[in-house]
Amino acid sequence: MKKRTVMAKKVNKNYFKTAVYIIIILLILGLAYSVYVFKKGVGEEGENFIVCQSPDNCVAAMHIHAEVYIDVCGKQLDLPLEAGDKTGTHTHKERNLLHFEERLKYDNKMKSIIETDPIKLKSFFQHEDVNIRLNSNCINGKCNGDLCNDNTGSLKMFVNGVENFEFENYVWKDGDKIKIVFE
């Protein structure tokens, strides 16, 4: 009789250990799946979602980033760190990376942002602590027609490798690579 009780305890102990191992494995798999889903959702589309209180009253909650490179006569001009309006376009500690983390009015019928001024390049460049001037003719004091490396210079802007003529009025998007060149 005593032998059966010892055997029963061993069997129960093995079931308990097996159950614990299964729970640990399921927790690890659940955590791995959560990390996978999170990383998949943060790709090119950023961390954006639309919230509507009614069909005509919507906002786009946005968290987007764009890289900006500025070259003036062969010299790189870096964006200042921790600059811009924290409720608009701004930078943090990453070199030449624009950030925007806020809500903007959104037209749910047209599927587009209505209020674009906070994500136009000028909202960043015109901010008092940025100290870089940009418009369709000039970047930081160098204007079309000025000399650049002994040649007449001109300002150009490229977005994702394609020339763009909007300059300060460009509404930047998540994942943009913006290159501003005066040469």
Name the band, by pLDDT with cuts 50, 70 and 90, for residue 6.
Answer: low
3-state SS, residue 150: coil
13-39 tens-digit pLDDT: 677 778 778 888 887 876 666 555 544
Mean pLDDT of 43-66: 81
Q: Where are the alpha helices (DSSP H) in 69-155?
A: 121-125
Selection from 43, 41, 171 nearest residue 112 by Cα: 171
Q: CA-CA distances (angstroms) from residue 119 to 58, 68, 143?
A: 18, 13, 24
Name the band, by pLDDT with cuts 50, 70 and 90, for residue 151.
Answer: very high
H/E stretch holding 102 reads strand 97-107
Judge whether residue 47 has pLDDT over 80. no
Q: What pLDDT sits at residue 11? A: 59
Count Cβ atoms below 10 Å from residue 91 Cβ, excluding itself: 21
Burial class (CB in 10 A: 0-12, 13-18, 19+), 30: exposed
Mean pLDDT of 47-56: 84
71-85 tens-digit pLDDT: 999 999 999 999 988
Rounded distance between C-alpha atoms, residue 175 and residue 64, angstroms = 7
Instruction: Supply 51's token pair.
Output: 């919230």
Mean pLDDT of 94-105: 92
Q: CA-CA distances (angstroms) from residue 126 to 23, 87, 119, 139?
A: 56, 14, 12, 12
Give, as one character, the DSSP assignment of residue 89.
S
Q: What pLDDT sits at residue 32? A: 63
Q: What pLDDT sits at residue 42? A: 38
Count Cβ atoms below 10 Å from residue 159 Cβ, excluding itself: 17
Judge whether residue 98 has pLDDT over 80. yes
Q: Where are the alpha helices (DSSP H) in the chain?
A: 2-41, 121-125
